[in-house]
Amino acid sequence: MYNLQGIIRKGINNSNIQFDRLGYVGTNFANFGTTGYKNVTFEQFLTEEGYVSGTTRTNCAQGALRITNNPYDVAIKGTGYIPVVSEDGKVAYTRDGSFKLGKDGYLVTSDDWMVGSGIQIPSNIHNFQIKRNGDVMVMDTAMSTPRKIGSIPLVQFQSPESLKETGHNKLVQTEDSGAPKLIKNHDYIYQNNLETANVDIYGEVNNMLRLNASMLAHMQLMKVAYDMYNKGINIRES
């Protein structure tokens, strides 16, 4: 009887783990079109007691770059994150460079978080350019010399996989991620581009099919064990 109870308990535990894993697969599907999104995997392992457990890992691999018509869009080709600041002073980090002009001409995210410490683009300029090192240059007239008005900062972490997701494509540092370190003399920022999600859609479809088969097998095993358990109780009571 104890062995059957153990089988049922382990079956319930394993099924819950599979449902958790399925949730992460669904999240990856949902964010396939999210700019700069990084694929999250749920890796399983077997405990000493014979139970299945798991841990999440973020795949920080580079996503493909997509050319856009928006001059405020930037993509990061390489390591790093762009610091952004909310109106109430909260600091987060993102690879989503779908920026726009916000209040008073400041460069902001799509949900109005300020980029870096604040880059204000004048309204009466002839043209502006974001260089590969993040410097923002403007030209007052067609014949004037470009001048620097600010720079988009880029930082890196010792363990970017440990950054905590807070929603809206933003992350915050944790004790495991380490403190942000400014990247100097780089050429990672591409204007008029956005980084696509690095989700392998075909791999996620395969994961979903395998999970579906695994959960059906677990459910069938649990049903067999439960039926045997009930029959054992009936025999014992008769």
Minimum mean pLDDT among 27-31, 152-156, 200-204, 217-221: which range?
217-221
Residues 52 and 81 in one domain: no
Residues 126 and 169 in one domain: yes
> What does the pLDDT look like over 80-127, one tens digit per residue?
999 999 999 999 999 999 999 998 999 999 999 999 999 999 988 888
Q: Is the pLDDT of residue 209 over 70?
A: yes
Looking at residues 139-168, what average pLDDT do you find? 92
Q: Which two tokens stand for residue 159?
A: 């363990």
Q: Please state whether the predicted TM-score (pTM) of the whole model is above 0.85.
A: no
Count up the domains in the chain and report the number: 2
Are 188 and 224 in a shared domain? no
229 with 214, same domain: the answer is yes
130 and 77 together in one domain: yes
Structural contact between residues 126 and 142, judged by C-beta atoms closer than 8 angstroms: yes
The answer to whether residues 122 and 138 touch, using CB atoms and an 8 Å cutoff, is: yes
Question: Higher pLDDT residue, 127 or 183?
Answer: 183
Picking from 21, 61, 50, 76, the residue whose alpha carbon sits closest to that of residue 208 is 21
Same domain, 104 and 184: yes
Q: Is 5 helix (H, G, I), strand (E, B) or coil?
A: helix
- Asked whether residue 84 falls in the same domain as residue 116, the answer is yes
Nearest to 120 by CA among 138, 94, 139, 144: 138
Question: Is 96 exposed, middle or buried (CB count within 10 Å of its CB: 0-12, 13-18, 19+)?
Answer: buried
Domain that holds residue 217: 2-60+199-237
Three-class SS state of 214:
helix
29 and 127 fall within a common domain: no
In degrees to the nearest 10, what's the CA dihedral of 109, 111, 112, 114?
Answer: -40
Asked whether residue 159 carries a pLDDT value surpassing 90, the answer given is: yes
Least confident interval from 67-71, 140-144, 230-234: 230-234
Mean pLDDT of the chain: 86
**Claim to verify: residue 25 and residue 105 sit in the same structural domain:** no
Contact of 92 with 86, CB cutoff 8 Å: yes
92 with 189, same domain: the answer is: yes
Residue pair 173/162 in contact by the 8 Å Cβ criterion: no
